[in-house]
Structure 1
Amino acid sequence: MSNARRHGPDEHPTEVAELAAGRVEYRFDRRGPATVMVFYGGHLRAGLSLGEEVFTETGCSVLVPSRPGYGRTPVPTGGTAGGFADVTAALCAHLGITQVAAVVGVSGGGPTAVAMAARHPALVRRLILQSAVGPLPWPDRRTRLGAQIVFAPHTERVSWTLVHSLVRYAPDVGLRMLLRDLTLLPVRDVVAGLRPEDQERLLALFSRMRSGRGFTRDLKELATTGDLAGDAGRVSQPALVIATRQDAAVRFVHARALATALPHAELLESRADSHLVWFGQDWPLISERIHAFLAEGPPRTS
């Protein structure tokens, strides 16, 4: 059973599937026969999109579930990254998807993508990780303490209302404030280096973000990495790990750890100025590598 819901003009329509393991919100952008599955990180839900053009421009369909606590997916659905990977596999069966060309993990969605590849190798052909949390504790203590206050379930609505007002009425200030914790470079230089159209895209994205109960759940789950390390070692599919050394949100050491832990991984270093690799000047080259990665022959087996 599923029901549809159309969001505001700046969001994509989503649906909710009532599965045996729980309720899950998702968006299924049906295009071609190949499907790419995307697990977004903190503050993003199925109704929002970031960098999906790299997949849709090749004709791929895109399936985006809201992870537990985000959008209309309740916190108990799946419980852990591995548990939600199993829920998403059930969602694929529900939708008639028998193979996924690639599972993509973005930032805090990385552990779920790794678990998906490890636990469902017959379903998933390839793994792509973008600025993803690896098998290391995350985040640092200062960030954790601040986030537990600002993005707690009883305060996140107020916090995001203030952010949304700021990006609407003082966009330059809003961009600097929101990018400050995503880059190791001077934030004024990072904002100045963005094209006007990319600034508009970021402002539109920031104006629609919410944390729900998902981000505090992420903070708790990602503080320990034992499951992720174990899952990474069991991934038999080819993996592409994309990250930048200028990322302050998920440090480059996470990408190195993932590339080491995954048996068949390629580490692709972005030259982006921040966590948001899609806005780096070299993103067209990275997109070409992603296209080639998806088009490569059958993955090696172990």
Structure 2
Amino acid sequence: MRRPLTHGDDEERATDVVELAQGTVEYRLQHRGRATVIVFYGGHMRAGLALGEDVFADADCSVLVPSRPGYGRTPVSTGRSATGFADVTAALCGRLGIAKVAAVVGVSGGGPTAVAMAARHPEIVERLILQSAVGPLPWPDRRTRLGAQVIFGPVRERATWALVRALLVRAPDTALRLLLRELTTLPAAEVVAGLRPEDRARLTALFSRMRSGHGFVNDLRDLKAGPGPRLPLADVTQPSLVIASRRDGAVPFTHAQALAAGLEHAELLESSANSHFIWFGDDWPTVATQIRGFLSADPASAS
């Protein structure tokens, strides 16, 4: 059941599978310190992939990453909605003996699940961190939705990602420009040219390992009318840190603003990153320092 364990954001990591009353869940649990952080990744990501987790390792936090419904080895039937999978993850914590988590982190399309878990399980969650996250506004637009259903639907997604991998090998710069085109408000060529060699290599490796499974179409279905009233922002009482870039072409900065306005104890941290990927921005070290400070602060001080 276990996959080979490797290191670095650009490599596949070991995962396990557990059978819960609500269904099968794939997850990765990396033990470090006593505090644990749960990370809900967004589209095309699963538990075996990692992005920006260095900040939690540096804070000596253990990391729990479940594959959301339809991704990896978690079937789409396991907690199909954001609220449903929040409850599944609470049950997973119980199975793993995790009574408290220092923070639940929602990345991109994983944002609604993180918000739901903070709202529905405050006895477990001490803080909420949202990174380039989908908020209470309609998302995505109709053109993007229809195109994604065709390209990343369960029937075609395998062929789509095989083509992506082939292009990344044969013409990596061209591939990165195509992949980043919808993820930035800037010209994609400018964003690619501005990447440091090590970040270009990490991003290329990450894209080459992505898959959509049944998960991405399920995400689009769940958010069809926009998270809106289904996103229980008013029920989140924990301190929250919302991080986003105005140059994000995938999830507009207005989502971050709406999240910060709707959460009772929220701080909005603007990244200067050139795309959806805040972890590759020049100011990521500064952002990471603020995340570590947020994790070490007393959560009771926000109430």
Same fold? TM cut 0.5 = yes
Aligned to 1:198: 199
* 190 and 301 in structure 1: CA distance in 2 versus 1, 3 angstrom threshold: closer
Aligned to 2:72: 71
Shift of 1:272: 0.4
* 192 and 301 in structure 1: CA distance in 2 versus 1, 3 angstrom threshold: closer
Native 8 Å contact 1:85 1:115 kept in 2: yes
Aligned to 1:214: 215
Aligned to 1:298: 299
* 83 and 227 in structure 1: CA distance in 2 versus 1, 3 angstrom threshold: farther
Structure 2, unaligned runs of 5 or more: none
Shift of 1:227: 4.5
User: SS state of the match for residue 125, structure 1?
Assistant: coil
Q: Any residues of structure 2 matched to 1:237-252 within 5 Å, and which?
A: 237-252=238-253
Shift of 1:301: 7.2
Shift of 1:76: 0.8
Shift of 1:8: 8.5
Shift of 1:47: 0.1
User: SS state of the match for residue 220, structure 1?
Assistant: helix
User: SS state of the match for residue 299, structure 1?
Assistant: helix
State the AA in 1 paired with 2:108.
Answer: S
State the AA in 2 paired with 1:217.
Answer: N
Native 8 Å contact 1:44 1:70 kept in 2: yes
Is 2:270 the counterpart of 1:272? Answer: no
Q: Greater CA deviation, 39-48 or 169-178?
A: 169-178
In 1, distance between residues paired with 2:41 and 2:97? Answer: 22
Q: Any residues of structure 2 matched to 1:155-174 within 5 Å, and which?
A: 155-174=156-175
Aligned to 1:110: 111
In 2, distance between residues paired with 1:60 and 1:162? Answer: 37
Matched residues, number: 299
Aligned to 2:56: 55
How big is the alpha-carbon RMSD for the aligned residues of Structure 1 and Structure 2? 1.3
Aligned to 1:139: 140
* 206 and 235 in structure 1: CA distance in 2 versus 1, 3 angstrom threshold: same
Shift of 1:202: 0.2
User: SS state of the match for residue 16, structure 1?
Assistant: strand
Native 8 Å contact 1:134 1:228 kept in 2: no
State the AA in 2 paired with 1:4.
Answer: R
Q: Which runs of structure 1 show a deviation greater than 6 angstroms over 4 or more consecutive aligned residues?
A: none
Structure 1, unaligned runs of 5 or more: none
* 160 and 7 in structure 1: CA distance in 2 versus 1, 3 angstrom threshold: farther
TM-score (ref. length: structure 2): 0.96
